């Protein structure tokens, strides 16, 4: 599959490039990114270079679609659909610290969800998972209409330990209106 550029009201979502490596490296030093994602710890510039290379491979294979989130022509984070198979995919996203609190993640997620359901993938279901306690990610998923489905015990591995995860889902037929979640 060829990568595509998505545009929202304030954002451009495009494939990460070598020009993003330094910004990705800097963002992945953030304690929240390291705590709540599966990025390597410690995170080195070589990890960002590998990430950029892998994103192109994933697009080519059709296994994952990952975009750099660009706000005001600056790298703000990443968003994507992973494990694409048989009409389902997993949503993931993270933001650089200076991009948080401005609705950027919510806007990017809404754009990717719409593309996943209404674009060439014609997905049936998108799942979201996050480490229990990642309230920012949970608020973003809820705002996009995801329905809370439960807690998965020790579903995320972080080095030598495992964390419980919240899981939520969104079907193509859901109206995407936020609903109450018992954990928020």
The 10s digit of each residue's pLDDT in 27-71 is 999 999 999 998 999 999 999 999 999 999 999 999 999 999 999
Q: Is 124's pLDDT higher than 90?
A: yes
Mean pLDDT, all residues of the chain = 97
Q: What percentage of the chain has pLDDT greater than the value 90?
A: 95
Phi first, then psi, for residue 147 (nearest 5°) are -100, 125
- In the chain the domains, ranked by start, together with CATH numbers, are 6-171 (3.40.630.30)
The model's pTM is 0.96
For position 157, what pLDDT does the model report?
A: 87
Q: Is 180's pLDDT higher than 90?
A: yes
> Which secondary-structure segment (H or E) carries 30?
none
Strands (E), the chain: 6-7, 11-14, 65-71, 74-85, 88-95, 125-131, 147-158, 161-171
CA distances to 43, 48, 76, 136, 165 from 33, rounded to whole Å, are: 10, 13, 13, 11, 15
Residues near 42 by Cβ (< 8 Å), separated by ≥ 6? none
pLDDT 10s digits, 140-172: 999 999 999 999 999 998 778 899 999 999 999
Residue 179 CA from chain centroid, whole number: 20
Residue 119 CA from chain centroid, whole number: 18
């Amino acid at each position: 599959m060829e990568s595509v550029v998505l545009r929202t009201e304030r954002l451009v979502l495009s494939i990460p490039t070598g020009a993003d490596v330094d910004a990705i490296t800097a963002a992945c030093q953030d304690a929240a990114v390291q705590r709540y994602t599966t990025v390597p710890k410690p995170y080195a510039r070589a990890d960002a270079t590998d990430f950029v290379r892998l994103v192109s491979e994933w697009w080519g294979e059709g296994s994952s679609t990952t975009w750099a989130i660009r706000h005001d022509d600056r790298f703000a984070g990443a968003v994507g659909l992973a494990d694409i198979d048989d009409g389902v995919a997993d949503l993931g996203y993270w933001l650089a610290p200076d991009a948080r609190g401005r609705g950027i993640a919510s806007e990017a997620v809404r754009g990717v969800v719409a593309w996943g359901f209404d674009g060439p993938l014609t997905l049936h279901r998108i799942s979201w998972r996050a480490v229990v306690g990642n309230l920012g990610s949970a608020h973003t998923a809820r705002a996009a209409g995801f329905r809370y489905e439960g807690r998965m015990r020790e579903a995320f591995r972080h080095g030598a330990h495992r964390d419980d995860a919240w899981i939520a889902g969104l079907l193509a037929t859901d109206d995407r209106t936020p609903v109450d979640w018992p954990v928020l």
